[in-house]
Amino acid sequence: MPTFSNNPKLGTSGGALVGYARKFDPESQVSMFGVSAQYTSTNSVTAAIFARTSFDQDRHRLSVLAVGGLIKNDYDNFLGTGTPLKSEDHIRAFVGRYLYRIKGDWFIGAQTIFTNYQIVGQTALDDDLLSVLGLTGFKAGGVGLVLNHDSRDIVDAPKRGWYLNLNNIAYRQALEGSNNFSVYRADYRQFWSHGDGNVFAVRQSNQWTANAPPGAYAPVVLRGYTMGEYLGKYMSSFEVEERLRLAERWTATLFAGVACLYGSNRGGCTDSANRFPSAGAGVQYILKPAQGIVANMEFATGKDGNRAVLFKMGYAW
């Protein structure tokens, strides 16, 4: 499947995703295996290998992801400093997560991540700015625990149910890197079916850091914003989305949300500089109805000229 995106920060990107989906048994969710690659007009390139599995009547869920790439950024207002910045992010990462169903829709599990994330400026002035901000990326390895509730009928295109994910990652020098810090996340999503195949959904997401280097601060993750341009010690966001059934295989999305960065020297969410609104719309074609696999084209816009056009597999969440 081809992938496409366009935003004023990263330019135009195109790529491809090749995947394989199957059910190991009738009670399990759809398992997916795939590879993807992407190249942008700013000469950035990324590649990923992933697997998301559900087996033994959905008692076990195992996910792994390996990512590598070079991302060239061109920021107009980096981290709200009012200063433009051109940087190169060299990224290599491995992520793994295992969940075990303990009762009903509740799972417990563990996760690990190893990453080598380096930021370098494209000019001497950019390097100076990165040094002033204390942003050099980080090399780190961590492990954490997961508590998960998932009553969604179809993981990739739910029509009803709710999802809760509470997890942490404790990055420690004994595993990898030179920093000891922690990241905590809480993610809640609810889906209601109404009308003739329509779905209304809400999401409330949080990320908190403790003793983290600036490069590992929480990002704004709303559609329309470039990942990593806006960072804060803490982040909370709220989104709503309406998924309208247009025909047997066609749907449309309308969505809006707001994120807030706070903590450290940012102050609170009452300051408009720390709030990041987002809104947009999209259209989807359902490739495999039983598995919930869709091709998704969306346009999103935020503040300060942030916007994006995205074509990818799957709903945003």
Tens digits of residue pLDDT in 207-249: 999 999 887 889 999 999 987 788 999 999 999 999 999 999 9
Its pTM stands at 0.87
More confident of the two residues 212 and 278 = 278
The encoded tokens of residue 50 equal 């992933």
- Per residue in 132-184, pLDDT (tens digit) is 444 445 688 999 999 999 999 999 999 999 999 999 999 998 898 778 999 99
Number of domains in the chain: 1
The verdict on residue 87 lying in a domain is yes
The verdict on residue 304 lying in a domain is yes
What is the chain's length?
317
The verdict on residue 53 lying in a domain is no
- Within 8 A by CB and 6+ apart from 247, the residues are none
* Interatomic CA distance for residues 185 and 302, integer angstroms: 23
CATH classification at residue 230: 2.40.160.50
Domain hosting 195: range is 75-313
- Within 8 A by CB and 6+ apart from 114, the residues are 93, 94, 140, 141, 142, 175, 176
The alpha-carbon radius of gyration of the chain (Å, integer) is 20
The verdict on residue 52 lying in a domain is no
50 in Cβ contact with 33 (< 8 Å) = yes
* Interatomic CA distance for residues 223 and 302, integer angstroms: 8
* Interatomic CA distance for residues 315 and 156, integer angstroms: 7
- Within 8 A by CB and 6+ apart from 290, the residues are none
